[in-house]
């Protein structure tokens, strides 16, 4: 397997496209290669997991794009499985914007989603947003602690009652955003902009589902959150 | 389409069944009929009882009176034969009979005991006519001053030289009070029967209408989208037929609905896949346009435009069919109306269009699906660009305490009055007398979708004349008042 280098001599980000429609897969690969990415395609979930596993040994993937309508292992399961193995950014491709599909995809672990037929430019923008974030490291070195919850910003480590938690990058950034502004209410729009680089029209469900996922990890009683509080009509805040 | 029909039919059915009017009327009518029947039945039974008892009591009195009167007449006959004076004869009678008042008429005039304050004037004239005619007669009469009933018996005393007539009056106050208390008892019984009838009617109406209630309840659930709601049919119910045919109807509708939804979803998937490939591939070609000949470049531009238009059209069609199927799920959020309109404009048009917002509405909230609302504004802006050289002004005003108006104005040719409703129909294109406006290029669904989307937001849209020229599209959207008392929602 050859590693592609971009103009700066850096390795170009490697993207895994899991899409059963060969024409879409090929056209997406062409469009994304134009954007400077290295693209590997897989037609089904089993194959994708295999390629992903191989990638881990040589040149790990930086991002995965998963169509939810897959034969065999469906997109949700595939996403879930990838998420179990790593915290690489995942973009779901759905055929419709129905709440059911979108929320199910996000709950399976996707970081973001696009709806068919999407503009390649729009997809590229989403990829850039997720990758840029994946490479930014926090400049603050301080450690924050809220009761039994402890956040080491620089190390990217979160502990609950002494146990290290496994958070995805999105969940970690969401937590950091709230934790560095304790008691301040952040609106969905603010969170969408800071974490996903979305404008005013970003989908609030992204925030809601990720908050829900985050609660299941950082709250002792997720049904009765003590730290991550919903402020009705306004947004979310972190209560120390 | 069907879902909407099912829902509205269900709502209508429910309104018909429980919508107060019929249900209450039916219930009241049944209750009233039961009460009326009980009342009539009670009255008839009471009347029969009363008259039977009355005639029996009167009969007893009359028999007793006749016996006494005959006995006394025999005594009088003897006394008259003995030539005793009338007053003495009456005294004799009085000494043996205590419960009557006697009156004797002889050729010398009246002799009477004067008991119960009765005198000969009180004797009924009709009775006297009979008696003087030689007939023994009796009559029940009432003294109007006292309201007391009496029975009078009169007979001719025969066998004397001159005619003599003997009358005896017996008071009936005992019988009268007996009948009075019987009447009260019977009236009480009638009232009680009526009351029982009413209660029975109420119970019966509830019982009878319960299946209708159930039908309407299920209809309500269906109208709220719970399509698998069914009437549980009790096997012996008289309305089993109604229940089972209702259930059958809902089964069929649900089946059709599911089929139609699946079809829409399949079509959606099948169309979106090639459209994705087309869109993605054309963008690859577009990025290489610099290396092409001008002719190819021109073709690529055309191709690209048409693919985008096709994508939009399919998107619009699918959106409309989802709305028709009632499966469009709104992402309603509490947003500031002013900010929403401004953001929509920023995103839609690169032109700077004056946005005027009345001070009153500046802090108004609305419940809106941002992306769908953006489509509303974008469609109206594109429409104006296509037909009227673009919008010239947007005004957001408070129409009332709870309704905001968003007016989108242009200075184009305007829309003829006859077309003002028509343009919101699907695949309708506004045409002026001069022919087709603008250059086309829309999907033909834009304004229809705008109407549907605004409807989903609980608002409405119309078009009117703009001053001094052009068209003004007005969107009416309800203000959202946040309930301050609501506790914070801690998911």
Q: List the CATH code of the domain at A14-135.
A: 3.40.50.2300
> How does residue B230 score in pLDDT terms, banded at 50, 70 and 90?
confident
**Residue A24 pLDDT grade (very low, low, confident, very high; cuts 50, 70, 90):** very high
Q: Tell me, what's the pLDDT at A142?
A: 73
Instruction: Let me know how many helices (H) and strands (E) chain B has, helices first.
Output: 10, 14
Q: Where are the beta strands (DSSP E) in B60-213?
A: 101-106, 109-112, 137-143, 148-157, 164-171
> Residue B434 pLDDT > 50, yes or no?
no
Neighbour-count burial of B248, counting CB atoms closer than 10 A to its CB (0-12 exposed, 13-18 middle, 19+ buried): exposed
pLDDT computed for residue B454 by the predictor? 94
> Which chain B positions have a beta carbon within 8 Å of A203's beta carbon?
331, 371
Question: What pLDDT score does B240 carry?
Answer: 76
Cα B120 to Cα A65: distance, rounded to the nearest angstrom: 125
Report whether pLDDT(B372) > 50: yes
**Across the interface, which of B329, B371, B488 has its CB nearest the CB of A231?**
B488
Distances B184 to B190, B192, B426 between C-alpha atoms, Å: 10, 12, 77
Chain B positions touching A199 (Cβ under 8 A) are: 343, 347
CB contact under 8 A, B269 and A95: yes
Q: How far is CA A113 from the centre of its chain?
A: 9
Q: How far apart are CA B337 and CA B348, in angstroms?
A: 16
Residues of B in contact with A97 (CB under 8 A): 371
Q: Report the C-alpha dihedral over residues A31, A36, A41, A47, rounded to 10 degrees.
A: -160
Neighbours of B214 (CB within 10 A): 20
Give the lowest-confidence range in A187-201, B73-87, B442-456.
Answer: B73-87
pLDDT at B68 over 80: yes
Is B172 a residue whose pLDDT tops 80?
yes
CA distance B379 to B348: 9
* Residues B55, B61: Cα–Cα separation, whole Å: 10
∠ CA(B85), CA(B90), CA(B93), 5° rounding? 130
What span, in angstroms and rounded, lies between the C-alpha atoms of A25 and B276? 10
Domains identified in chain B and CATH numbers: 1-229 (no CATH), 240-324 (1.10.287.130), 332-478 (3.30.565.10)
In CATH, what number does A143-238 get? 1.10.10.10
What are the structural domain ranges in chain A? 14-135, 143-238
The size of the A-B interface in CB pairs under 8 A is 91
Search chain B and give the residue with CA nearest A101: B329
Is residue B194 within 8 Å of residue B35, measured between CB atoms?
A: yes
Using alpha carbons, select from B274, B331, B313, B208 the residue that is nearest to residue A27: B274
User: Which string of b and e fits B419-444 if b means at least 16 CB within 10 Å?
Assistant: bbeebbeeeebbeeeeeebbeeebbe
**pLDDT at residue A233 greater than cutoff 70:** yes
* For residue A2, pLDDT beyond 60: no
pLDDT digits (tens, 9 = 90+) for B335-344: 899 999 999 9
Q: Is the pLDDT of residue B256 over 80?
A: yes
pLDDT for B51 equals 92
Considering only CB atoms, B268 lies closest to which of A95, A215, A233, namely: A95
d(CA B56, CA B153): 18
Residue of A nearest to B304 (CA): A119
Give the pLDDT of residue A39. Answer: 94
For the whole model, what pTM was predicted?
0.64
Contacts of B374 in chain A (CB under 8 A): 201
Predicted confidence at residue B21, as pLDDT, reads: 57
Residue B487, pLDDT above cutoff 50: no
Confidence label for B299 from pLDDT (cuts 50, 70 and 90): very high
Cβ atoms of residues B410 and B389 within 8 Å: yes
Give the distance from CA A130 to its chain's centroid: 7
Task: For residue range B397-429, list pLDDT tens digits in order.
Answer: 999 989 999 999 998 888 888 888 888 888 765
| Of B477 and B99, the one with more pLDDT | B477
Q: What is the pLDDT of residue B390?
A: 85
- Would you put residue A162 in left (φ > 0), alpha (ψ -120 to 50) or beta? left
Share of chain B above pLDDT 90, in %: 26
Q: Does the pLDDT value for residue B22 go beyond 70?
A: no
User: Which residues of A lie inside 8 Å of B (Cβ-Cβ)?
Assistant: 21, 23-24, 27-28, 30-31, 34, 69, 95-99, 116-121, 188, 199-201, 203-205, 212, 215, 224-225, 229-233
Report which of residues A5 and B361 the model is more confident about: B361
pLDDT of residue A101: 84
pLDDT in tens, B129-154: 888 888 888 888 888 888 888 888 88
Round the average pLDDT of chain A to a whole number and report it.
86
- Please write the tens of the pLDDT for every residue from A132-145: 876 555 555 577 88
Q: Which of B83-87, B140-144, B481-485 has the lowest mean pLDDT?
A: B481-485
- Per-residue pLDDT tens digits for A142-157: 778 888 888 888 777 8
Q: Is the predicted pLDDT of residue B239 greater than 90, yes or no? A: no
- Between residues B431 and A198, the one the model is more confident about: A198
Contact A233 B334 (CB under 8 A): yes
Mean of the pLDDT values across residues A106-118? Answer: 90
- ω before A152 within 30° of 0 (cis)? no
Q: How far is A57 from chain B (nearest CA, A)?
A: 31
Q: Which residues contact A13 (CB under 8 A, 6 or more apart)?
A: A37, A38, A62, A63, A127, A131
Chain A nearest-CA distance from B468, in A, is 35
User: Nearest Cα to A97, choosing from B334, B325, B331, B271?
Assistant: B331
The rounded mean pLDDT for chain B is 83
Look at residue B388 in the predicted model and tell me its pLDDT.
Answer: 85
pLDDT at B19 over 60: no
Q: What secondary structure does DSSP assign to B198-263, as a single string?
A: HHHHHHHHHHHHHHHHHHHHHHHHHHTT-TT------TT-TTHHHHHHHHHHHHHHHHHHHHHHHH
| Peptide bond between residue B468 and the one before it cis (omega within 30 degrees of 0) | yes
The sheet carrying A143-146 orders its strands as A143-146, A149-152, A157-160, A163-165
Q: Is the pLDDT of residue B433 over 60?
A: no
The pLDDT, as a whole number, for residue A212 is 92
Q: Do B269 and A204 touch (CB under 8 A)?
A: no
Residues of A in contact with B482 (CB under 8 A): 233
- Hey, how many other C-beta atoms are within 10 angstroms of the C-beta on B398? 18
Q: Answer whether residue B115 shows pLDDT above 80.
A: no
Lowest-pLDDT range of A193-197, B80-84, B281-285, B451-455: B80-84
> Residue B91: which H helix or E strand, with range?
helix B86-96
- The answer to whether B154 touches B137, Cβ cutoff 8 Å, is yes
Q: Does residue B438 come out as left (phi exceeding 0), alpha (psi in the -120 to 50 range) or beta?
A: left
Q: What is the pLDDT of residue B16?
A: 58
Mean pLDDT to the nearest integer, B373-387: 89
pLDDT-based confidence at A67, cuts 50/70/90?
Answer: very high
Q: Which residue, B413, B346, B41, is CA-closest to B191?
A: B41
ipTM of the complex: 0.83
Asked if residue A93 has pLDDT above 80, the reply is yes
């Amino acid at each position: 397997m050859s590693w592609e280098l971009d103009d700066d001599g850096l390795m170009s980000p490697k993207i895994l496209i899991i899409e059963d429609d060969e024409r879409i897969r090929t056209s997406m690969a062409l469009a994304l290669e134009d954007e400077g990415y290295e693209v590997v395609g897989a037609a089904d979930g089993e194959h994708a997991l295999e390629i992903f596993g191989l990638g881990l040994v040589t040149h790990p993937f930086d991002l995965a794009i998963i169509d939810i309508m897959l034969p065999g292992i469906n997109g949700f399961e595939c996403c879930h499985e990838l998420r179990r193995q790593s915290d690489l950014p995942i973009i779901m491709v759905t055929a419709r914007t129905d709440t059911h599909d979108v929320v199910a995809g996000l709950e399976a672990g996707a970081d973001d989603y696009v709806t068919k037929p999407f503009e390649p430019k729009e997809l590229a923008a989403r990829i850039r947003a997720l990758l840029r974030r994946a490479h930014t490291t926090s400049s603050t070195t301080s450690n924050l602690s809220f009761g039994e919850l402890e956040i080491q910003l620089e190390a990217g480590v979160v502990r609950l009652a002494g146990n290290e938690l496994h958070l995805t990058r999105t969940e970690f950034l969401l937590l950091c955003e709230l934790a560095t502004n304790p008691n301040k209410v952040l609106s969905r729009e603010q969170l969408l902009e800071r974490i996903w680089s979305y404008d005013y029209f970003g989908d609030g469900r992204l925030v809601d589902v990720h908050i829900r996922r985050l609660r299941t990890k950082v709250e002792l009683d997720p049904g009765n959150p003590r730290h991550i509080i919903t402020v009705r009509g306004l947004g979310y805040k972190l209560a120390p | 389409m069907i879902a909407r029909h099912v829902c509205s039919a269900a709502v209508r059915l429910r309104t018909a069944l429980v919508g107060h009017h019929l249900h209450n009327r039916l219930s009241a009518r049944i209750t009233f009929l039961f009460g009326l029947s009980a009342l009539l039945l009670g009255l008839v039974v009471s009347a029969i009882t009363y008259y039977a008892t009355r005639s029996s009591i009167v009969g007893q009195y009359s028999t007793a009176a006749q016996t006494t009167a005959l006995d006394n007449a025999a005594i009088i006959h003897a006394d008259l034969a003995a030539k005793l004076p009338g007053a003495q004869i009456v005294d004799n009678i009085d000494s043996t009979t205590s419960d009557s008042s006697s009156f004797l008429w002889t050729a010398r005039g009246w002799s009477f005991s004067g008991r119960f304050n009765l005198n000969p004037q009180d004797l009924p004239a009709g009775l006297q006519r009979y008696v003087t005619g030689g007939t023994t007669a009796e009559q029940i009469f009432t003294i109007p001053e006292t309201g007391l009933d009496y029975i009078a018996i009169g007979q001719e005393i025969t066998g004397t030289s001159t005619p003599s007539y003997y009358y005896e009056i017996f008071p009936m106050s005992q019988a009268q009070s007996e009948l009075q208390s019987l009447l009260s008892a019977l009236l009480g019984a009638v009232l009680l029967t009526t009351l029982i009838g009413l209660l029975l009617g109420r119970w019966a109406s509830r019982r009878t209408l319960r299946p209708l209630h159930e039908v309407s309840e299920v209809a309500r659930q269906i109208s709220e989208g719970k399509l698998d709601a069914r009437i549980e049919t009790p096997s012996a119910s008289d309305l089993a037929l109604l229940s089972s045919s209702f259930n059958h109807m809902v089964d069929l509708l649900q089946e059709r609905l599911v089929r139609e939804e699946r079809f829409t979803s399949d079509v959606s998937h099948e169309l979106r896949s090639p459209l994705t490939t087309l869109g993605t591939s054309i963008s690859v070609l577009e990025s290489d346009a610099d290396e092409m000949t001008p002719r190819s470049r021109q073709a690529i531009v055309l191709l690209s435009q048409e693919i985008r238009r096709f994508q939009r059209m399919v998107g619009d069609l699918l959106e409309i069919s989802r709305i028709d199927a009632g499966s469009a799920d709104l992402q309603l959020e509490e947003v500031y109306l002013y900010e929403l309109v401004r953001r929509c404009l920023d995103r839609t048009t690169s032109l700077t269009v004056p946005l005027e917002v009345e001070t009153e509405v500046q802090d108004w909230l609305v419940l809106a699906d941002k992306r769908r609302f953006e489509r509303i504004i974008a469609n109206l802006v594109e429409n104006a660009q296509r037909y009227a050289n673009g919008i010239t002004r947007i005004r957001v005003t408070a129409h009332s305490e709870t309704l905001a108006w968003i007016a989108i104005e242009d200075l184009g040719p305007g829309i003829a009055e006859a077309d003002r409703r028509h343009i919101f129909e699907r695949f309708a294109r506004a045409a002026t007398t001069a022919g087709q406006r603008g250059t086309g290029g829309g999907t033909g669904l834009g304004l229809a979708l705008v109407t549907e989307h605004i409807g989903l937001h609980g608002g409405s849209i119309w078009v009117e004349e703009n001053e001094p020229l052009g068209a003004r599209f007005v969107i009416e959207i309800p203000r959202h008042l946040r309930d301050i008392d609501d506790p914070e929602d801690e998911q």
